Amino acid sequence: MLIALLTDFGYKDSFVGTVKGVIKSINPSVDIIDITHGISSFNILEGALALKASYKYFPKYTIFTVVVDPGVGSERKAVVVKTKNYIFIAPDNGVLSLALQEENIEKIVEIENQEFLLKSDNNTFHGRDIFAPVAAYISRGVDISLFGRQINKINEINLPKVIKKNGEIIGQILMFDKFGNAITNLENLPQKMKRAWVRDIPIKKVANNFQEGDRQFPSLIKGSFGLYEIFLKEDSAKDKLNLNVGDPIRIQI
């Protein structure tokens, strides 16, 4: 069995190691893969995008443990979601919802049964106390219905909508990747484009690969998130063009 971890725990502290220690204490033979722990702190949308971009590349029955959890310790639910091919474990804050839009959900369970959880005198680390042990027990074959009662739906987030008006398509920057490429909410581009801008900066072209881009002016490319990205050739569009999350991209059609 394979447990895949995706969190905003970062790489500075022992948080990720502790989660793995808990898992290995319960199931020593399970395989653990890090998707990433570099999600921006508290950023549910980034976590949801990273999960959506990656989960389909994992083997069937992978147990995804997704902890971007600003509400840790509060009343938000913790859930296990079973789909045809996968198991997802996460706080019920929408971080699973972009991936689950593509999956057939078979069952959702709210994690309530304290028997499977770690006791603690602090209330700040449910990755350790709730999500890790639940993932580990699932990897050992524990039926998910034992964790709590079945519920009907989970919370959702949605990408900001693309707007069409006055002969323009208007999208926006959702996040940046490690290379400084700006991931937008544009899944498709119109067949015929006249001109395009990010903020007030003209976009040079739609490229088929990064080498076709320009070093000074931004270009667009369909990227590995399944979304169009704004990039500079071998440079950081974020830093060099001083882009920010939320900046508009306008396309004249």
Is residue 236 within the footprint of a second copy (CB under 8 A)? yes
Is residue 245 within the footprint of a second copy (CB under 8 A)? no
Stretch that binds a second copy, among 16-24, 83-91, 138-146, 244-252 (CB under 8 A): 16-24
Q: Of the two residues 25 and 145, which places its CB atom closer to a second copy in the complex?
A: 25
Nearest alpha carbon to residue 89 among 170, 25, 19: 19
CB 232, CB 207: distance < 8 Å: no
Q: From residue 116, give the alpha-carbon distance in Å to each of 89, 142, 154, 167.
A: 14, 10, 22, 56
Query: Of residues 3, 35, 237, 251, which one binds a second copy by CB under 8 A?
Result: 35
- Binding to a second copy by CB under 8 A, coded x per residue (else -) over 190-229, reads ------------------xxxxx--------xxxx-x--x
Q: From residue 176, give the alpha-carbon distance in Å to each of 34, 68, 69, 235.
A: 20, 17, 20, 13
Is residue 239 within the footprint of a second copy (CB under 8 A)? no
- Strands 150-151 and 219-222, by their bridges, are unpaired
Q: Of the two residues 3 and 81, which places its CB atom closer to a second copy in the complex?
A: 3
CA–CA separation, 56 vs 62, rounded Å?
Answer: 10
Stretch that binds a second copy, among 2-10, 134-142, 145-153, 189-197 (CB under 8 A): 2-10
To the nearest whole angstrom, how small is the minimum distance from the Cβ of residue 167 to a second copy?
27
CA–CA separation, 250 vs 253, rounded Å?
Answer: 10
Residue type, 103: E
CA–CA separation, 116 vs 126, rounded Å?
Answer: 13
Q: List helix spans (H) across the chain.
A: 15-26, 44-54, 97-100, 126, 132-139, 237-240
CB 91, CB 72: distance < 8 Å: yes
Is residue 16 within the footprint of a second copy (CB under 8 A)? yes
Q: Of the two residues 77 and 222, which places its CB atom closer to a second copy in the complex?
A: 222
Q: Of the two residues 82 and 126, which places its CB atom closer to a second copy in the complex?
A: 126
Is residue 234 within the footprint of a second copy (CB under 8 A)? yes
To the nearest whole angstrom, how small is the minimum distance from the Cβ of residue 138 to a second copy?
17
At 231, is the secondary structure helix, strand, or coil?
A: strand
- Binding to a second copy by CB under 8 A, coded x per residue (else -) over 144-183, reads ---------------------------------xxxx---
Tell me what percent of the chain is helix, strand and coil, each rounded to the nearest 5.
25, 30, 50
Is residue 2 within the footprint of a second copy (CB under 8 A)? yes
Is residue 121 within the footprint of a second copy (CB under 8 A)? yes
To the nearest whole angstrom, how small is the minimum distance from the Cβ of residue 166 to a second copy?
30
Binding site for a second copy (CB under 8 A): 2, 4, 6, 8-18, 20-22, 24-25, 28, 31-39, 41-42, 50-51, 53-55, 57-59, 62, 70-74, 120-125, 128, 177-180, 208-212, 221-224, 226, 229, 234, 236
